[in-house]
Structure 1
Amino acid sequence: MSNLFTLTGTVEKSMIDHNQHMHDSQYNEAFSQATNEFNYNNGLSLDERKQLNYTIFTIEEHTTFLSQLKLDDNYQIDIHLYNYDYKRLHFFLIMRNEQGNIVATNEQMMMGIDCDSEKSAPFPETFMRNVELYYNTQPKVDWPKQLGHRIEIPQKGDSK
């Protein structure tokens, strides 16, 4: 069984910047919405969070921009779960245009939070079971070089 969570969208006028392509903040908005939808669909909907007095925070992220999206372009975001433990998720998201070309990637670390203590806490059982199932049934992927990428300016003479 192979399972891949995806979110699709279309670039709207409000998402366009002065360079006439999708604003960088809008890529991050789309990636954030994708992980929100993943969490909502796997046991951490807004109602479930309220009932459990539990939430999930993004604690780190990194976005790479590889190509441009313009007005009315359609895109798809594929969510891959690179790793996880009992209270953290390490996502790698890939945004593709209609032709299937990668236009951006986003790496996120999320952590489960107990709302009373405002400290990290283990995932609720249902969510944890769904995370494990997703991890074990998602399609295998050749991880792109953007995974774990470090920002740096190569020095002269470096072959990077």
Structure 2
Amino acid sequence: MQLLELTVPNEWVDYNGHMNDAEYARAFSMGVEALMAHIGLDGAGREAHDLTIYTLETHLCYRAEAHEGQALTVEVLLLDHDAKRQHVLFTLSDAEGNTVATSEQMLMAMGISGCRPSPCPAAVAERIAALPQPASREDWPKAAGRRIGLPPRR
């Protein structure tokens, strides 16, 4: 599901002539904010439910360079969830649908006033459950569940 459209601004371009690595993280952070709005935790929803979303962990993989003025989209796939957590895969794509980067994230619903993990209210939980999900284990995205490390030495 597409959450966000953006265009790479000049300020995001580094000395290599393409989008700086930190700006990929910014694009995915903007994706989290768009996801929050979609599930009912925009500014009014956060205030009404005394609830926000924190990012607990992220695994960002760079697949292609993005350049100034390039149109990009952020999509989300819900991999798993419970009352408080959402395991998601964001994909940053170019106008042709090519993957530029992925960001696998563990998100946590947090009570704002108590700053503690808190279950999502029913309306928010229903919107989360309605997000696109892999149909089966065979449809699990290759970009999800990866670990970082060097290949075994022979």
Look up the match of 1:122.
119
Whether contact under 8 Å (1:5, 1:38) holds in the other structure is: no
The change in CA–CA distance for 1:139 and 1:156 in structure 2 (over 3 A counts) is closer
Q: Who is 1:35 aligned against?
A: 32
1:20 aligns with 2:17: yes
Q: CA deviation at 1:155?
A: 3.6
96-105 or 84-93, larger mean C-alpha shift = 96-105
| Shift in CA distance, 5/140, structure 1 to aligned 2, threshold 3 Å | farther
CA distance in 2, matches of 1:23, 1:144: 25
Residue in structure 2 matched with residue 106 of structure 1 by the alignment: 103
Do the aligned partners of 2:83 and 2:120 also contact (CA within 8 Å) in 1? Answer: yes
2:1 is the alignment partner of 1:8 = no
How many residue pairs match? The answer is: 152
The alignment status of 1:52 with 2:40, answered yes or no, reads no
Q: How many angstroms apart in 2 are the aligned matches of 1:67 and 1:144?
A: 18
Distance 2:68 2:2 in 1: 25
Instruction: Give the alignment of 1:121-140 within 5 angstroms.
Output: 121-135=118-132, 140=135
2:131 is paired with a residue whose SS is helix
Structure 2 residue runs of 5 or longer lacking an equivalent are none
Deviating above 4 A after TM superposition, structure 1's stretches of 4 or more consecutive aligned residues are 138-141
Query: What is the distance in 2 between the residues matched to 1:95 and 1:143?
Result: 17
Q: Deviations over 1:99-118 (max 9, x none)?
A: 22111000111101112322
- How big is the shift at 1:130? 1.0
Distance in structure 2 (CA, Å) of the matches to 1:54 and 1:97? 33
Map Cα deviations across residues 89-141 of structure 1 (whole Å, 9 max, x no partner): 01101111122211100011110111232211100221011112224xx5759
Amino acid at match of 2:68: L
Q: Per the alignment, do residues 9 and 140 of structure 1 end up closer, same or farther by CA in structure 2, a change over 3 Å counting? A: farther
TM-score between the two structures when normalised by the length of structure 1: 0.87
1:146 aligned to 139, 143, 146, which one? 143
CA distance in 1: counterparts of 2:14 and 2:23, whole angstroms = 10
Counterpart Cα distance in 2 of 1:148 and 1:103:
18
